[in-house]
Structure 1
């Protein structure tokens, strides 16, 4: 946008609302928005003149819609100075520095600004010209003789000008500014002469008052120019319209200036006083810092004799060891005091002390290495523990009883017993022979069997072993001073609290220390994992089911090891726990395989399967090993194993039942009979235990039993009551449409009489007797000799026949009520017949 368009928009936006002001000129500037303002921002300076001749300057910004809005306004009479460089400074109530885009526009604006002069002064334009309020020359305009600084504080940083610089005219057209920090008046002969002349003339009689008034105003103008160069100058008093005399005006002006000077001097005095207080605080801080540095240097100091003692003192004699401890304490204090400082004054000295510390530590390490090698603590303790623990394991293995029942039975029933040749204790390659091995050749081939479960014996074994492991671990921890007491060298030497705190900060279990502890425990008990593994294999070989109890024992020991914070023992137990879980999984897989083989090889197709009989006793043996195991992993492992075994048994039963029977009806009957016998036995035995983990299996067995019982009764009822059941089943199906019954010869009243005639009371008793013999053949003659399932099935048959009778009576009454036909037997006849069969009469 060109200058003319900007001018039109400014007039339309701003001066159309200001009727008493007229546009003179404008200039686009850039001003610094400060650190938080986002950089430089564009603004427009508008110059205007009112109808009374008063000049104004407005700072404006351009809005997004192209209009201009005024933000700040100054009177031109407030103009104190101009300084023109690439940007220009303008001094009003304070100094502003503005950048412009065009030098020509800047020059035009400044010419327009400097032409009008302050209209508020009572001096005419002619007198203003006589005062040489001159126009801007061709070179950049400079400020007046002395333009005020933006603030007193910023002006203090500038060097004061000489008197020559202030009073003499500028040479070679180069503008020079008088330092605004000069606070004392300087003697100007011309101004002083004018002032004296004014004072003298006013004391004479008032002759030619009009001529003198013009001269007085010129003199006042010179005084104004003389005074206004000071930054403490007050407002324009002489320029105000007043009827007072020239002397009164000068006196008022001088009093105002002196008051401003006094205020400025007071501010400077306060500033100097605050600076003085700051210097005093700084001096005190420097003295305190110097004292601290000297104290630190005294602290970070080790006597030369102490360093010699650390280097040459004996490590064996008691008196020399005490001297070494004192010397080490001095070195320790120096290193701890300089731990958190990076001062150059102490770095060189601390580096020297660190060297002495490393040398002393190496000396101690070499000495202790020789001493420990000579004493061979770890080797001796390892051999001692190995001898004792090996003997302990051998003795405890003899206490484990062998489960002959498990070898001869199990889920497979007729499985071959396991080998007993490996029941004796197998050694894991130990170095020292156990004293228990000297029993002689008479016990060489004898299998020793105790009277305690393997899991109970293993619990006692771990209790004995963990005591030795914990004691050795505690000894090593105390030896290395890494126990819970947190005893440091500073505590041992009784140093000040400062050094104790510093030592505590640096104390702790590093990775190197933990590795050292694990290495020491491996040296002492390195033989133990192999010995435990062999003992577990031998104990489980005596009773494989005891692997469950051993899992529970290991899990309890793991919890104890975690509480005692014994990483070595915890690692040993974790490995054995993993092995035992794998052995348990293999054991369950073997049992499932045995059950699978049973359904293929068993020749017994009647009665209760062996694995169904064995399962309750198996559960009891397992649960006896899980006392207090709730919430542990072994509990979930056993529950999952129960589910796998029960699922495998039920599936094997179904497969066995399908293989039985030649004809269709006979095959179905035998299928239901096998499932009924096995499910009834399973329910009767498992319900006695009242265990939450097996309740779900009882529910599944009950569903299977009920389904097969209903199917069995339907099949056995077909022979004696087939016509009766078929007829009334069809009547019930066709009953809603009564026309079907009357129109069909098969289900009309005549057909009903014919069917009912075949089932009188005598025939029903005869049919019940035949049914009894058939059911008795299926259940009562089983090899197991258990009549409970037969009695349950026979009672279900009675209930089913009574229910059928009620159904027939209801259908006859509903669909054949007007036929006069009724059953020739009653429910009492049925109950009497069933009772007779039970009594055997």
Structure 2
């Protein structure tokens, strides 16, 4: 038997999901199969056929009642998902009729006695084959017998045939289990087998009983063919007798029926009374539930109100505590004296006032309290106290400082000696009177004054910072604490170069520890305090920076390279971070660093201008003056850097060398005949003078490699020009042949105009006869063009190697195109000739 859709476990699971989605609880799908809703045989339905799924479900009862059986019709939605369409109760199934118009026997009708419109014909269901039809009908009969204990009427199908089919297919149904993907098919239990046997017996018994009744009826009457009229008359008489007996029986049972009707009326009245009482009780219970819910709601509201009132009282107590002004603080702020014995109490009062004002501001105070009248009035009162104290304190400080200044003016020992110290420091420093001149196009091997010791200049600058920077820091710290500015006592965790002892003092004298007032790592209030402090320090100390600028300008005039040392000293002072808020000092150091960088940049610009002036000189030959002088300058700059940041020096190297190379290229292009010689000699001199520094300075190493590449290119061009000048005809002939090999066959080249074997022999004779003299002439020409004898051996070796490579190419071309019979000098012999020079 072919596999049926009733064995499709996926279909059964889809049906179960659809039943569960419809809201039915406790229904179990026991059987499902695909059918077609329509008229006619299944294969000829066409568009009239509607695919449906019939599912038998059982709902288990939890109250001891009988289980309920249903027949569900499911259809496919637009998304090919099963959804419930109709629901029938099997207890109302009265007839199962197989349509006789369908010769296949696969179409049947299920008749229910509770359909609303009996005039509408029930739907017809068509199966794919007889086996599916018998299986569905047999399952329906099984469920009716097991769950409902009755069998519907079966019309249009042979009962015996259905019973035989069930008997033959019971074993097959029993043994159907899943063998693929772990999915179960249809498995018949022992109980189902018993029900199946019972249904078979009932069907067969029903057929047998009908046959026996018919035989008994026929046996009662033994008649011949001629007694048909008598038989009909007798049947009519018996029918009349039976009807009369029925009427008589009904008349005899009338008193009983009256008694039953009276009892039913009494019971109905009792039930109506009971229903009225239950309705009254239900109404009273509903009112009682509403009253209980109302009482609970009021209780919850009262409880919540009590909790809220308690919380409100606590918050109001806290707020009143904030709004209370202690009497002793109010007295100190409004009328207390500023004597030294009272200063501690005044400070305590100011701290309390500051904290009280802040406590009434967001976010310290909840925003919902800010607009309260009591809070606004108290804030105004605190502001009034603040203004009163500030006015009194300002008047006291004004009088105090006036008397202090008058006292200090009368005693000149209190004056600051900063400017006098700077002047004496410069006067006492022994430095060369003539400033050093670098990279200028004057005669001589080195710059003017380049050997003079100018270390005293940077030492004077360092001494200036060592003495006055700590004083300025102390002055700033004293001013910040004296004026009660709220500045952090320590720098934030993780700041670099923090050297702090347990006593709060720095370990190093030159470690400033100045916090950046423009940083983003401090709260807004601290940033505001620092900004105000730095503005006050700027007004207090403004003018002293000019003395530091004067020392920087003085040092630059003596030796511009000392800007490197001064830059490193300034960086070292700036690199420290310590507990202080002297923003003025940090700004001063930043300004000094910028001024030193600007001075050094001006020196580099002047040096580049000196280099560019060499371009204006006409017909310069040999090594340019600024090439060796740059090596001396670079050596001195590396001595002054002292391990500090290399950015300043590397930028200077880049600008100087770029200008040097650009100027060298322009000078070389002024005379094309000697251009390559000028480039060769100067690039070689650059490499020789900077060889040691390029090994340790990455920036100079980059320019060293650039000079090496330019040197090799110039050598290649110059050597090629010498070779072609001496052997132009031979290599020109080679170039023509090589060009023709791309367009015509090799064997056709000797027949071209100017490239015949005769032409080749003429070229060989003119170029290779007297080869010693030709190479000697090339040797002397190369020696004559160079002004530096040190470069000649290496260049001549390059020239011989280049010539031999070109000759080998020419020799291979001749042997490949013209054969081995031409009078050309072998390569080995040419090597011997070149080795003699």
Give the TM-score category using the shorter length: 0.5 to 0.7
Q: How many angstroms apart in 2 are the aligned matches of 1:797 and 1:766?
A: 16
Partner residue of 1:198? none
Contact 1:393–1:461 under 8 Å retained in 2: no
Residue 510 of structure 1 and its aligned partner are, at CA, apart by 5.9
The Cα shift of 1:608 comes to 0.5
Q: Name the residue aligned to 1:367.
A: 396
Cross-structure match for 1:813:
815
Alpha-carbon distance change, 471 to 378 in structure 1, aligned in 2, over 3 angstroms: farther
Q: Could you state the TM-score of these two structures normalised by the residue count of structure 2?
A: 0.54
Out of 743, 759, 764, the residue aligned to residue 771 of structure 2 is: 764
Deviation, structure 1 residue 833: 1.9
Distance 1:390 1:585, change over 3 A: same
Aligned pairs for 1:465-544 (under 5 A) are 465-479=468-482, 480-485=484-489, 508-509=525-526, 511=528, 513-544=529-560
Matches within 5 A, 1:556-635: 556-560=572-576, 566-601=582-617, 605-630=620-645, 633-634=647-648
Taking structure 1 as reference, are residues 385 and 727 closer, same or farther at Cα in structure 2, changes over 3 Å only? farther
Gaps of 5+ in 2: 1-257, 259-263, 491-521
Secondary structure of the equivalent of 1:472?
A: helix
SS at match of 1:788: coil
Separation in structure 1 between the aligned mates of residue 775 and residue 435 of structure 2, nearest angstrom = 45
SS for the counterpart of 1:518 is helix
How far did residue 744 of structure 1 move? 6.1
- Displacement of 1:316 in angstroms is 0.8
Alignment correspondent of 1:271: 294
Give the 3-state SS of the residue equivalent to 2:338 in structure 1.
Answer: coil
What is the Cα deviation at residue 545 of structure 1? 3.5
Alignment partner for residue 391 of structure 1, among 390, 401, 421? 421
Q: Residues 354 and 764 of structure 1: is their aligned pair in 2 closer, same or farther, counting only changes over 3 Å?
A: closer
Equivalents in 1 of 2:703, 2:549: separation in Å?
A: 36
Could you tell me whether the CA contact under 8 Å between 1:549 and 1:626 is conserved in 2? yes
> 1:314 aligns to what?
337
Q: How does 1:433-452 map to 2 (within 5 A)?
A: 451-452=454-455
Cα 1:692/1:244, change in 2 over 3 Å: same
Report the CA distance between 1:307 and its aligned residue.
3.6
Alignment correspondent of 1:701: 707
The equivalent of 1:788 in structure 2 is 790
**Aligned-residue offset at 1:531:** 1.5
- Give distance in 1, aligned partners of 2:767 and 2:310: 129
Number of the residue aligned with 2:720: 714
Q: Report what 1:424 is aligned to.
A: none
How much is the aligned-residue C-alpha RMSD, in angstroms?
4.6
Aligned residue runs from structure 1 range 93-108, under 5 A: none
Instruction: Give, in whole Å, the separation in 1 of the partners of 2:523 and 2:675.
Output: 79
How many residue pairs were aligned?
Answer: 529
Of residues 360-369 and 558-567 in structure 1, the stretch that sits farther from structure 2 once superposed is: 558-567
For the structure 1 residues 529 and 727, does the alpha-carbon distance in structure 2 shift closer, same or farther, using more than 3 Å as the test? same
CA gap of 1:242–1:617, structure 2 versus 1, over 3 A, is: farther
Give the Cα separation in 2 of the matches to 1:243 and 1:376: 125
Deviation at residue 541 of structure 1 after TM alignment: 0.9
Q: Which residue of 2 aligns with 1:65?
A: none
2:276 to 253, 257, 261: 253
1:679 matched residue in structure 2: 683
Give the Cα–Cα distance (whole angstroms) in 1 for the partners of residues 590 and 704 of structure 2. 35
> SS where residue 644 of structure 1 aligns?
helix
Q: Structure 1 residues 623 and 383 mapped into 2: Cα distance closer, same or farther (>3 Å)?
A: farther
Give the distance between the partners of 1:622 and 1:570, measured in 2 at CA: 27
Pick from 820, 829, 836: which aligns with 1:833?
836
Maintained 8 Å contact 1:379/1:524:
no
CA 712–379 in structure 1, closer or farther in 2 if over 3 Å, else same: farther
Shift of 1:246: 6.3
Under a length normalisation based on structure 1, what TM-score does the superposition of the two structures give? 0.54
Q: Is the Cα–Cα contact under 8 Å of residues 453 and 546 in structure 1 kept in the other structure?
A: no
User: For residues 579 and 666 of structure 2, what CA distance do their matches in structure 1 show?
Assistant: 47
Q: 1:754 Cα shift? A: 4.7
- Aligned partners of 2:440 and 2:447 also within 8 Å: no
The aligned residue for residue 491 of structure 1 is none
Would the alpha carbon gap of residues 384 and 796 (structure 1) be closer, same or farther in structure 2, given more than 3 Å must change? farther
Q: Distance in 1 between matches of 2:685 and 2:297?
A: 105
Partner residue, 2:667? 653
1:802 maps to 2:816: no
State how far apart, in whole Å, the 2-side matches of 1:820 and 1:251 are: 143
Distance in structure 2 (CA, Å) of the matches to 1:404 and 1:349: 74
1:363-386 per-residue CA deviation (whole Å, 9 max, x = no partner) reads 123212322333349999999795
